[in-house]
Amino acid sequence: MIRRKNILFSFDQSIESQHLYRYLKDRGFSPILVEGGTADIIYQTSLKRPDLLVLYDSPPDIDVHEICKILKGQMDTQSILILVLDGKDAKAEKLEGFGLAADAYASRFLPVEELYAKIYSLLSIRELQLQLLESEKFAALGRLADRIAHEFRNPLTVIGGFAYRIKKKKLNDPVCQEYVGRIIKEVNRLERIIDQVTEFEIPSKGDYEYVDLIELLREVAEEFKACIRKAPGREIEIEIPENAQIPLIHANRQGLQNVFKNLFENAVDAIPEGRKGHIRVLTGMDVGEGILWIKVKDNGIGIPPEELNKVMDPFYTTKPYRIGLGLALVYQHVRDMQGRVEIESEEGKGTTVTILLPLILKAPLPSHQR
Ligand SMILES: Nc1ncnc2c1ncn2[C@@H]1O[C@H](COP(=O)(O)OP(=O)(O)OP(=O)(O)O)[C@@H](O)[C@H]1O
Ligand SMILES: [Mg+2]
């Protein structure tokens, strides 16, 4: 199964083009039609950055070679897949040698099922390539981070231990007390980072078991509510679904707890002081797709659109004193459970993080639903 991908579709009046367009729509894709010629297509593709551009060769308005050459020659658009419908000619072969040609060519007169299969396989291969790249990147970073974390842990324990002993001696000098207090605070902060980094290397520690998701969400939310109550002037509500009719999920309990801890923590961080905070959790199933979804919605400051695709990168953070591993860990835990993570956000209004996990229909129902 592939995620629904964005497809840009060059406008063509032919019956076969309309047929393919409708066929894609009926199968859950939302192709976007681009009217106009070569320049419009290049402009719209650079702007919308689709996963695939389906390009009908319709000279003289549409010059597919020019479009491929420009899009494949630009860093930010070169990874966009291009399928040219109408076959190949000598010029395309020349461009192929320079890596500036389309990714696939086909005749527009092929049966629509065959064209659909071609599109589907192009998108599936690209998805696999991206997943592979992503997991290699994560694994390499994880190994590096783990090594550094281990080197830091021992000296930190020593520094923290001695600072704690000095503090207990109750020195008369208040400045000295303050300095020691700061050393302890910073050591605690670094220890938290080391814990995160080590978890990053081995996120799937812990056994798989049947987990009552709602119960788990309540436990994590209670912990958070206790912390929020301690923070003066903060008013944040966390809402967990009351009567969710979802089966137990087969998951790593500790991993799942960490996923929601990180999501709640980010939501709390995003709600500015003075604003009444609202964190809503929604759950549901898509039986046809075999998916169980959990949404964590907040009314925080949101994420600017140009930053949205960076937030899951390890070490990306906009917060002072944080390391930026929370969402990378969420991604890793969820991927270990064969799921995926999606993020939508509107600046100033809030963010929704959706966790999609495989639905096991035969799983037992939680005790309150039996
Ligand atoms: N719910 C959210 N609302 C607004 N911005 C968010 C939200 N979740 C994540 N972000 C943005 O994504 C960045 C990365 O999040 P992530 O959880 O990975 O790291 P962090 O919270 O900065 O640090 P850490 O989780 O390691 O303590 C955040 O710094 C923030 O800018
Ligand atoms: Mg975080």
DSSP state of 346: E
Residue where one domain finishes, among candidates 168, 202, 236: 202
Structural domain of 364: 205-369
Whether 136 and 271 map to the same domain: the answer is: no
Query: Which residue minimizes the CA distance to atom 13 of ligand 1?
Result: 317
Looking at the structure, tell me whether residues 181 and 260 fall in a common domain. no
Q: Is residue 1 part of a domain?
A: no
Q: H helices then E strands: how many in the chain?
A: 9, 12
| 338 pLDDT tier (thresholds 50, 70, 90) | confident
Which residue is closest in CA terms to ligand 1's atom 17? 326
pLDDT digits (tens, 9 = 90+) for 167-200: 888 777 888 888 888 899 889 888 888 888 777 7
Q: Which atom of ligand 1 is nearest to the CA of 353?
A: 1
What average pLDDT is seen over the chain? 87
Q: Is residue 57 part of a domain?
A: yes
Domain membership of residue 125 (yes or no) is no
- Rounded mean pLDDT, 81-107: 84
Q: Evaluate: CB of 185 within 6 angstroms of ligand 1.
A: no
pLDDT band at 1 (very low <50, low <70, confident <90, very high): very low
Q: Supply the residue whose CA is at minimum distance from atom 20 of ligand 1.
A: 324
Indicate if 194 and 77 belong to the same structural domain: no
Residues 65 and 166 in one domain: no
Same domain (yes/no): 292, 355: yes
263 lines ligand 1 (CB under 6 A): no
User: Could you give the CA distance from residue 180 to residue 163 in angstroms, rounded to a whole number?
Assistant: 6
Q: What is d(CA 66, CA 140) in angstroms, rounded to the nearest whole number?
A: 38
- The CA 193 to ligand 2 mean position distance, Å, reads 11
Measured by CA distance, the residue closest to atom 25 of ligand 1 is 326
Residues 196 and 90 in one domain: no
Displacement of CA 104 from its chain's centroid (Å): 28
pLDDT > 80? residue 106: yes
Q: Could you tell me if 139 and 99 lie in one domain? A: no
Number of independent structural domains in the chain: 3
Tokens of 59: 């000279």
In a shared domain, residues 348 and 277: yes
- What would the mean pLDDT of 3-19 be, rounded to a whole number? 87
Do 162 and 211 have their domain in common?
no
Q: Which residues hold their Cβ within 5 A of ligand 2, which is an ion? A: 266, 326
What is the residue whose two structure tokens read 């999606």?
Answer: 342
